[in-house]
Chains A and B, each alone.
Chain A
Amino acid sequence: MKTKLTILTLLTAAGVVLAAPQTFDFKDPKGVNNAGFKLDAPLEAINGNASGVSGTVTFDPADPGATKGKIVVATSSLMLPNPMQRQHMLSDKWLDAAKNPEISFEAKEFKNVQTTGDTTTADVTGTFTVKGVSKDITVPVKLTYLKDKLGDRLPNQKGDLLVIRANFMIKRSDFNINPGQFNDKVAEDIEIQLSIAGASPK
C-alpha cells in the first residue's frame, strides 16, 4: 500500500512538473523579432519598424488561456527610411524617446481562446503603454507553440519556441501623441504588426 501511494505521489508530482508553465524570453539573438507600424494619412504614408524587442511570456501548452507576460519595444529602435522623419518621430515633439524609452504591452486576460494543434488564437486584454500613457486595449493574437524547435533555430541549444503574431490598431490621440494635429500628414490610426518568437531553453 505504501509503495502504491509513493508511486501515485511521484506520478502526481511529475504531472505537476510536466504541466508547469514555461517562461519564454523574447530577446531574439537572430534579430528577426520585430514590430512594424504603418500610418496612412491623406498626404503621407509612413512605414516603419522596430527591432528592439524584449520581454518574457509565461505559457502553459496545457492551458494557453492562462498565458501572462509583457513585451517591450525600445523606442530608440524605431526605424524609418528617412533620417529626418525618424529624428522628428523620436524627438520631444512626438514620442519623446529620451523620456519614454519603452513601448510595452502587458497581457492581463485571455478570452475567446481556441486551440487547434499547436496553434492558439485569442483576444488578449492588456495594458499598452506609449509615451508614458497607459491604456487597456484588446488585441487578437495567434500563438504557435513549437516544441523542441529551439535547436533548429539556435544550434547547440535545446528547448521550445513560442511564436506570437498580432495585428492591431491604436489611435495616437489616445496616447497623447500630438492629438488632433498634423492629421493630414500623420495619420490618427497607427496599424501595428507584431511578429516575435520567444525561447524557453531546457
Chain B
Amino acid sequence: MLLVGSLVFWAAAGANCGWTKTRVPTKITDAVTGLEGVQWQSKFVPGVDFLGAAGVGAAALASVSFLFRKTKAIHPSKP
C-alpha cells in the first residue's frame, strides 16, 4: 500500500526522475530590459530518492509484518 501510494503520488507530481526538489524556479521577464530572471518558489516535487525511501519503508513494514503473523487457532479435535 505504501509503495503503491508513493508511486501514485510521485507520478501525480510529475514523475520527476531527478532528486527530490523542495523549491522550483519560475522565470520572470523584465519588460524594459528584456532580461529573464528566476524566482524560486517553495514546492515539494518527489524524486527517485523519495521512491527509494518509500520502497525501503515498504520492505521494512513487510518484514515486520512477518514477526506479528497470526498464529493458527488450535481447535480441539472432535471426538
Q: Are B34 and A163 in contact (CB under 8 A)?
A: yes
Among B28, B35, B37, point to the contact of A163 (Cβ < 8 A).
Answer: B35
A49 vs B40: C-alpha distance when bound (angstroms) = 9
- Residue of B21, B32, B47 with highest tally of chain A CB at under 10 A: B32
Given A31-B37, A36-B38, A197 contacting B22 (CB threshold 8 A): no
A45 vs B18: C-alpha distance when bound (angstroms) = 9
B residues within 8 A CB of A36? 38
Instruction: State how many residues of chain B have any CB contact under 8 Å with chain A.
Output: 21
A144 vs B32: C-alpha distance when bound (angstroms) = 12
Residue A34 is within 8 A (CB to CB) of chain B in the complex: yes
Q: Are B33 and A163 in contact (CB under 8 A)?
A: yes
Given A195-B37, A197-B35, A82 contacting B25 (CB threshold 8 A): no
Residue A122 is within 8 A (CB to CB) of chain B in the complex: no
A149 vs B40: C-alpha distance when bound (angstroms) = 27
Q: List 25 A-B contacts (CB under 8 A).
A: A31-B37, A34-B37, A34-B38, A44-B18, A49-B38, A51-B38, A79-B23, A79-B25, A79-B40, A81-B18, A81-B22, A81-B45, A82-B20, A82-B22, A83-B22, A85-B19, A149-B32, A149-B33, A152-B32, A153-B32, A161-B33, A163-B35, A165-B35, A195-B37, A197-B35
B residues contacting A by CB (< 8 A) are: 18-25, 28, 30, 32-40, 45, 47
Enumerate the 10 nearest inter-chain pairs by beta-carbon distance, A residue then B residue, closest first.
Answer: A32-B37, A81-B21, A153-B32, A82-B19, A197-B33, A32-B30, A49-B38, A152-B32, A195-B35, A163-B33
